[in-house]
A and B are shown apart, each in its own frame.
Chain A
């Protein structure tokens, strides 16, 4: 369309740009501005420079929150990736029936509202819930505990919920990637006498680098943004043992009257997500060349 009027593209762009600019970019900039002030949400605000950012390193609750986010990355991202790689590689080696149904089923946790997921897992983790019932039936009474009220076990228990949500997504993604690898490559490797393990490291793993990058990006970002799950299952407790950055943003901005601190956490979280995206995509692109 060479003969279009000059302003025409901007006319088509206008609605999206106004909505996106007004309700996403502008509030993001405002967050940066908020983060430089001390404000309780009602009274006068005071400019404090980078104090709120310094607090990210000195405030023990915040340090713990970011530490918990790292633990969640293991459960949301690393564990599903390992499980997904093993399962997808094995399933890819032989034609099995019912793969379509399998995909539908394991992907299902992704479409459920996190509140629904949290309600389901609360019932599993309840003192007389299905997990403890199963342990008692196996004679493992010593292992039963209040899964969501224990200083040691609550964070891993919340993490496992993330593993449950993300593993299907990762597996389906990897299955699709492995399905695109030419069959002849595997045949040739087998003729050369490569076993299943060699085949995995020499052919399967390198050919799904792009998919691994996507899986890591999606799941790490999901781990870092965790809010609903913690809000509904534990409320950050017991104590502060399961609080995460996103939960601290909410608490400080709307419950504790520390709006500047909340904005600083949110801006830091966004910066971390940007950097992670860039790093993971760089690695994936660099290797695909």
Chain B
């Protein structure tokens, strides 16, 4: 398309202003994280103070909370992805009574906000003595990821060519073999997208670990950051360093798999 030089220049101005708006708060935190903790601090390395990360790490006990986050995330992601592959396979390739109604139930589940389930979850699991366990924190999040995952994997299995399945079946392959030896290997991108999204949701989740582990035994990293914030109101540098530590795992994953993130979060919203 032919566009004038002025218009092109305007485009770049908009591009830069918008990117700057998106980056400004992130740069603010990074700058604060590398700033001296007090006026009397040592000159640091070229005026920067990477030791803040070490201090925040030890003072906030982040090694412990990041480990908890990792444990919860890996549990949620692995169970949710496997269950979603199985259910998506059933919805996407098989005919059975009640499939429509059940599928709509899953779609409905995607919309249910955490607030709507967390109150009875806490009181019911407390009565069973299950609060402050991995399962209290993980199971509700598995259920949420399974709702989306079933929808997401069904969409993939529906696009897989029926001829492929029929040929394999004629060769005597069982449904289980068709699924795990043919469809899942071909569908790696769809599984990958589901995996990174479920990981991000679980890593960033706040309300469920806050409520389901009242004594802090299963305190995840974002919660630890909120508590650290309460204890270090004046220590801007340490707090910023802690925030960077909590955000880093998902940001690194995003930089490597940004296509999966963007595709999943945009297409995942397009419901039927």
Contacts and interface: CB of A to CB of B under 8 A. Distances in A.
Interface of A: 1, 3-4, 6, 8-10, 12-13, 15-17, 19-20, 22-25, 27-28, 30-31, 33-34, 41, 87, 90-91, 93-96, 98-99, 101-117, 119-124, 126, 130, 164, 167-169, 171-173, 176, 183, 186-187, 210, 214, 217-218, 221, 224-225, 227-228, 231-232, 245-246, 249-250, 253-254, 259, 262-263, 265-267, 269-270, 273-274, 277, 281
A9 B90 contact: yes
5 contacts: A27-B121, A28-B116, A94-B3, A106-B18, A169-B266
Contacts of A172: 262, 266
B160 interface: no
Interface string B166-184: 1001000001001000000
A106 B22 contact: yes
Nearest to A84: B18
A113 B222 CA distance: 7
Interface in B92-135: 93-96, 99, 102, 105-106, 108-109, 111-124
A225 B203 contact: no
Question: What is the interface of chain B mostly: helix, strand, loop, or mixed?
Answer: helix
A107 B255 CA distance: 11
Interface in B195-214: 200, 203-204, 206-207, 210-211
Given A108-B251, A254-B211, A269-B116, A23 B18 contact: no
A119 B242 CA distance: 10
B36 to A, nearest CB: 15
A171 B262 CA distance: 12
A240 B21 CA distance: 30
B146 interface: yes
A104 B259 CA distance: 9
Nearest to B150: A16
Contacts of B83: 15-16, 19
B215 interface: no
Nearest to A86: B14
A110 B265 contact: yes
Contacts of B204: 111-114
A10 B96 contact: yes
